[in-house]
Amino acid sequence: MISVRSSGCHPLFSGTRDGLTPLQMEKLLDYRGRPKLTDKQQDELLKLEMKLMSGGDLSEGAKTYIEEMVDEKVYNYKTHVSTKEMTKGTNVEDDSIEVYNRLLFTSHFKLAEFDDFYELRYGISVGHPDIVDKEGMTVIDIKSPWSKKTMPKTLKKAEKKMKDAGYDWQVKHYLYMLRKITGKDWRNGEIAFVLTNTPEDLISDNENDSMHYMDDLDDTLRVTIVKVKLTDDDIIWMAGQLEKAENYAKMYFNYLNNKNK
């Protein structure tokens, strides 16, 4: 019915989690940390876990996100958004990974078709991660800012950019699928903002070339990395949201197909 893609999944997962009060969350975490529980505590823990997973109704943003996917299916059309910033990000990925590797003495590469984990699929979830470090069990997503000016130069600014754009949920979605696919405890991710030369054909005449030429900078100035951690609560929340998304998509699909019958 629908495919929740990692690159655009943040409307489904971001926002307030309405399932538990702070006191209930504290009790949930306390019970989780105990080596042994009584039968009564086990029952209470189960109820708390179920309430956390339910998390209340879908947000209006999540509903709109799902409705737009169903609309494309029912009305048989595709939307495609393309900007010069997005085009740059796609075209310079390999160059950005090269800068990342030079700085951190790694040998990562952009996943290509037929590579392990090039395409992740689980249930209604789908995604194409940039880098999957199998030994370190880490997903790395590369972002190539448009210019020197738009580069988040501090960790605080990079974290804000990550949250505003939903990049954290993109990486958590990859990790969630890897856990389900492999049965292993994938938890760690990174968002790496990397300054790379902007292709000349994308630069407008009224922009100064110095904003887009990065090779005059030391590699230490060209990379800002934000760590991402997939928590137990994230895993429970995402499972609940995905289930609710699938159910809401079916309901909305049936509404559209029967509204004039």
Render pLDDT for 5-36 as a digit per residue (tens, 0 to 9): 999 999 999 977 666 666 777 788 899 899 99
**Mean pLDDT calculated for residue range 181-187:** 97
pLDDT cut 70: percent of the chain above it: 95
Query: Looking at 37-41, 181-185, 257-261, which range is the least confident one?
Result: 257-261
pTM tops 0.85, yes or no: yes
* pLDDT value, residue 259: 86
Residue 212 Cα to chain centre, angstroms: 27
pLDDT cut 90: percent of the chain above it: 80
Residue 55 in this model has a pLDDT that exceeds 70: no
**Mean pLDDT calculated for residue range 227-244:** 92
Residue 158 Cα to chain centre, angstroms: 15
**Euclidean distance between CA atoms 50 and 67, whole angstroms:** 26
Helix (H, G, I), strand (E, B) or coil at 203: coil
Residue 48 in this model has a pLDDT that exceeds 90: no
How high is the mean pLDDT of the chain?
93
81-112 pLDDT tens trace: 899 999 999 999 999 999 999 999 999 999 99
Residue 233 in this model has a pLDDT that exceeds 80: yes
Helix (H, G, I), strand (E, B) or coil at 107: coil
**Mean pLDDT calculated for residue range 168-185:** 98
**Euclidean distance between CA atoms 171 and 116, whole angstroms:** 17
Whether 175 contacts 215, CB under 8 Å: no
